[in-house]
Amino acid sequence: MQIRREDVDHVADLARLSLSEEEREKMTRELNSILGHVDKLNELKTDGVQPTFHVLASLKNVTRKDEVIHGLDRDRALQNAPSQKSGCFAVPKTVE
């Protein structure tokens, strides 16, 4: 698979990254190199091998009891918010 400049722009856009002209070039090059390596892995015969959905394959079914424990006080929760109002996080308006 070949990564094009448009693909980099698209992914950057989805990730809300603003890239300079040089960075876009660099990303295109590096992503292609990474995918080249993955392509190499694709040459391996993996018939009959279970997909690795999780790196900790032996760790399964980790759950907790349904119990309420107070988390953060509101002042603490809002402490690092760039903007807050009426006990809420204030963000740029989202709906027209």
Partner 1 sequence: MTWETIIGLEVHVELKTESKIFCNCSTRFGGEPNTQVCPVCLGLPGALPVLNQQALEFATRAALALNCQIAGYSKFDRKNYFYPDLPKAYQISQYDLPLAEHGHVDFIFGGEPRRVRIRRIHLEEDAGKLLHSEDGGLSADANVSLVDFNRSGVPLIEIVSEPDLRSGEEARAYLNRLKTILAYADVSHLKMEEGNLRADVNVSVRPTGSTEFGTRTEMKNVSSFRAVVRGIEYEAERQVKVLDEGGSIRQETRQWNETKGVTIALRSKEEAHDYRYFPDPDLPALDISRDFVEGVRANLPELPDARQARYVRDYGLRDVDAGILTSDLSLAAFFEEAAGLYPKDPKAVANWVLGDLLRIMNARAAESDEIPITPKQLADTLMLIDRGTISGKIAKTVFEETMATGKDPEVIVKEKGLVQISDTSELEKVIADVIAANPQPVADFRSGKETALGFLVGQVMKATRGKANPGIVNELLMKALK
Binding site for partner 1 (CB under 8 A): 10, 13-14, 16, 53-56, 59-72, 74, 77-78, 83, 85-96
Question: Using an 8 Å Cβ cutoff, are 5 and 24 in contact?
Answer: yes
C-beta of 25 vs 89, nearer to Zn ion: 89
Distance CA 19, CA 11 (A): 11
C-beta of 77 vs 90, nearer to Zn ion: 77
What does 96 interact with, of partner 1, Zn ion, none (CB < 5 to 8 A by kind)? partner 1
Question: Using an 8 Å Cβ cutoff, are 26 and 34 in contact?
Answer: no
